[in-house]
């Protein structure tokens, strides 16, 4: 997984709630079997509108996206964080996230930062005023506001750890569980 430590950048502001993953990456792009190259299709339909926030000159090169509550709701498609990351974003700041989107983002090194709605609005004002924002994972701050992220998730991001490898180190625990629990079904036996 990609490491994340700190990013200082201008921020794009998408001030609307409940941005679903169908908007982030529409279904016609889910046919690809690769993990890369989704950035050009990010917000595919919305970007057709010249007035769309990400089309504005001040949003170009932004590595931080500041947005509304429940960002990434809907489908489990990891293509959504892949597209955001491939487009150039390193961190998304919002009052809340869809659970699966948030989890998917953490797994690929795209940092979801949850802050109270008033602080998100303040950061959006500062970003709209042209100020660069710093998201610092080691200090767990965004634009100076402290945010919460559990120690384990933080360490995985800071070190870019492969969590499959981490779990495979727990072979003793896995084998013990399997030895003491009969599987309720077998898909090979129906």
From candidates 5, 6, 10, 20, binder to other proteins by CB under 8 A: 20
Alpha-carbon gap, residue 93 to 71, rounded angstroms: 9
> Could you tell me the smallest distance in angstroms from the CB atom of residue 8 to other proteins?
27
Residue 3: strand, helix, or coil:
coil
Buried b (16+ CB within 10 A) or exposed e, 138-161: eeebbbebebebeeebbebbeeee
> Could you tell me the smallest distance in angstroms from the CB atom of residue 132 to other proteins?
26
Stretch that binds other proteins, among 58-66, 84-92, 100-108, 124-132 (CB under 8 A): 100-108
Alpha-carbon gap, residue 21 to 27, rounded angstroms: 9
Which residues form the interface with other proteins (CB under 8 A)? 16-18, 20, 22-23, 26-28, 30-35, 45, 68-70, 73-78, 81, 96-100, 103-104, 107-108, 150-152, 163-164, 167-168, 170, 173-174, 176-178, 181, 183-190
């Amino acid at each position: 997984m990609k490491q994340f430590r700190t990013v200082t950048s201008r921020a794009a502001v998408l001030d609307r709630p409940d941005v679903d993953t169908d908007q982030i990456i529409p279904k016609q792009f889910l046919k690809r079997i690769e993990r890369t190259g989704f950035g050009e299709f990010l917000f595919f339909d919305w970007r057709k509108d010249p007035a769309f926030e990400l089309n504005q000159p001040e949003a170009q090169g932004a590595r931080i996206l500041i947005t509304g509550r429940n960002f990434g709701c809907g489908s489990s498609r990891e293509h959504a964080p892949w597209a955001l990351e491939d487009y150039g974003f390193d961190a998304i700041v919002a009052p809340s996230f869809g659970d699966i989107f948030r989890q998917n983002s953490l797994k690929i090194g795209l940092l979801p930062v949850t802050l109270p709605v008033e602080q998100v609005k303040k950061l959006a004002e500062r970003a709209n005023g042209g100020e660069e924002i710093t998201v610092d994972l080691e200090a767990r701050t965004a634009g100076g506001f402290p945010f919460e992220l559990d120690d384990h998730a933080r360490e995985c991001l800071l070190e870019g750890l492969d969590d499959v490898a981490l779990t495979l180190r727990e072979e003793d625990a896995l084998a013990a569980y399997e030895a003491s629990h009969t599987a309720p079904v077998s898909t090979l036996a129906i």
